Chains A and B, each alone.
Chain A
Amino acid sequence: MSRALLIWRKFLNVVMLTLTGVAAFLVVSVLFLILGYFIWNGGSSLNLDFFLKLPRPEGEVGGGVANAIVGSLKLLLLAAIIGLPIGLLAGVYLAEFGGKTFSFLVRYTTDLLNGVPSIVIGMFAYSLAVVPVKHYSALAGGAALGLMVIPITVRATEEFLRAIPDSLREGAMAIGASKWRTIATVVIPAASGGIITGMLLALARVAGETAPLIFTALGNQYWSPGWNQPISALPLIVYNYAISPYDDWHRQAWAAGLVLLTLVLLANLGCRVVINRKGVRSV
């Protein structure tokens, strides 16, 4: 082998190593850049008023987004009630009961559903839950988010249930537990850490969805009592305030974005902790 070829090879090696390293560094830095930028722009608006007060009328300085925080929580609660049970049960079906053909169909459909653009989901919810009753509502927004929670929950549940060794199922069935009893009292508890994590991640993901809320929950300047009226949410605040002409609202949009970002990061961190402490233990 010639000397020149050897040097060229070493050079190529170093170049490729550097490129992959730089790309890896960029991936990490994007998150910190975003976080830093939001803190820089919105940090100053994060005060007690921001969390406890209602928005001020257009153009006035001050006020907060308390109604949007509560609104987001209410929408997530609805999404959880609508999406998690269906997702959990369908995931159990796929992992424990499903045959070949139908399971393949369900799994494939779930993946497609997961890829449906959120604006399409929003339009679907709009036509079914807003148009017939002729007004926007928290229920419609929660339903739209609930639909998006389903596929993530299904797949997470299935994955974590599959990770439980069959020996546990056999152990329970050998004592006379029926299949359902086995799943409910041994398999699901053994996988609960992972399943709960999957659910939290699903909720964290839809917490930041804006498109399906624009024409279902709409937004609201005031408190939204009950479930049947337009309701504010953090992503809606970010959207509405960011495109407004007022500097104070811009700052609040950054702050609302920061709160949203922090919530999602905390949910992810919390999941890590849950997985490490109580993750799937194989026997």
Chain B
Amino acid sequence: MASASQGNNDATAAQLARQVRVSEKTSAASDKEASVRFEISDLNFYYGAKQAVFGLNLKVPKNKVTALIGPSGCGKSTFLRTLNRMNETIRNTRVLGKILLDGQDILQMDVVALRRRVGMVFQRPNPFPKSIFDNVAYGLRINGYTGRLNDLVEQSLKRAALWEEVKDALHKSAFALSGGQQQRLCIARALAVDPEVLLLDEPCSALDPVTTAKIEELMFHLKDSCTMAIVTHNMQQAARASDFTAFMLDGKLIEHNETSKLFTTPQDPRTEAYITGRFG
């Protein structure tokens, strides 16, 4: 009984934290000066001797969706993966420059703590070979959460717009789901630990248009609680789903602006060439 009430307290604490964050966001929005979640300055990234990102400066605004577009191999995925230091799993890589998350240098942070705050969804759905429930509960369990998992799993699945489809099959294998459902499960899994930022690395490239629409819609709703950065090959997707867009070419950031402005009045001729489909 004691442990159950403890679990309740934890759940309320998590909800409270989320409310505080939401209110922060509203006050910040009224603040006109859109507050910044990630501030990247003079970022250079190397795979061995090969440089993949060149002197990149970017501010990722809080509770907005920032899209990264550009032709294949332009370094946008590499850049995204520096934001949760996922590139460190690859040997012989090097990061130079500064990445601040809420003013803190992420290169100085404990990587486990960083990844808890900065979740990631990958190009291909990668559910664990476990049940749907265990997939979502995974992040909670490894972070030592011992309260009532059921509520948080349900909440996360609802935020990922998957709850209605799986609520009667929580203990079935995640592999029984369709590709689109698996991707939303992966989003739910990332959301379960309540990250401040969600990085999406071409999350819809393996999905059909209907599922893609579902994911874009859930991204829209997630803006209340989460900052998102999405790498996409699909310019319509960037135009539909993002507030800001950054265009990269050959490892360099060419242009960064509000999505509506970037797509209607691009400042750089290369941006214009790319979004009008002249290359890439």
Contacts and interface: CB of A to CB of B under 8 A. Distances in A.
B184 interface: no
B273 interface: no
A175 B139 contact: yes
Interface size class of A (residues with CB under 8 A): 20 to 34
Interface string B240-260: 000000000000000000000
Given A185-B138, A281-B175, A172 B112 contact: no
Contacts of B186: 171
Nearest to A175: B139
Interface string B118-154: 0110101111111000000011001100000000000
Nearest to B127: A283
A283 B142 contact: no
B126 A171 contact: yes
B116 interface: yes
Given A170-B86, A170-B122, A281-B175, A175 B128 contact: no
B129 A189 contact: yes
Contacts of A177: 112, 138-139, 142
B89 interface: yes
B189 interface: yes
B63 interface: no
B112 A178 contact: yes
Contacts of A211: none
A283 B125 CA distance: 8
A168 B126 contact: yes
B115 interface: yes
Most buried by B among A168, A174, A283: A174
B190 interface: yes
Interface string A151-192: 000000000000001011111111111100100011001100
Contacts of A168: 126, 128-129
A218 to B, nearest CB: 46
Given A171-B186, A186-B138, 18 more contacts: A165-B126, A167-B122, A170-B86, A170-B89, A170-B122, A171-B189, A173-B89, A174-B86, A174-B120, A174-B190, A175-B119, A176-B114, A177-B138, A185-B142, A186-B128, A190-B128, A283-B124, A283-B127
B142 A167 contact: no
A181 B142 CA distance: 8
A274 to B, nearest CB: 15
B113 interface: yes
Interface string B173-214: 001000000000010011011000000000000000000000
Nearest to A193: B129
Interface string A183-208: 00110011000000000000000000
B119 A189 contact: no
Most-contacted residue by chain A among B112, B114, B186 (CB, 10 A): B112
23 contacts: A167-B124, A167-B126, A170-B120, A170-B122, A170-B126, A171-B186, A174-B86, A174-B115, A174-B119, A175-B115, A175-B138, A175-B192, A176-B112, A176-B114, A176-B139, A176-B142, A176-B143, A177-B139, A181-B142, A185-B138, A185-B142, A189-B130, A283-B126
B115 to A, nearest CB: 4
Interface residues of B, number: 28
A175 B189 contact: yes
Interface of A: 165, 167-178, 181, 185-186, 189-190, 281, 283
Given A176-B139, A181-B142, A185-B142, A171 B128 contact: yes
Nearest to B116: A176
A181 B128 CA distance: 14
**Ordered nearest first, which 3 A-B pairs have the shortest CB separation?**
A176-B116, A174-B120, A167-B126
B84 interface: yes
A176 B89 contact: no
A176 B113 contact: yes
Contacts of B128: 168, 171-172, 186, 190
B190 A175 contact: yes
B116 A169 contact: no
B26 to A, nearest CB: 28
Contacts of A165: 126
A186 B127 CA distance: 10
Nearest to B114: A176
A176 B129 contact: no
B105 to A, nearest CB: 18
A95 to B, nearest CB: 14
B16 to A, nearest CB: 21
A66 to B, nearest CB: 42
A221 to B, nearest CB: 50
A22 B120 CA distance: 57
A190 B114 CA distance: 26
Contacts of A178: 112
A252 to B, nearest CB: 47
B84 A174 contact: yes
A171 B89 contact: no
Nearest to A185: B142
Contacts of A186: 128, 138
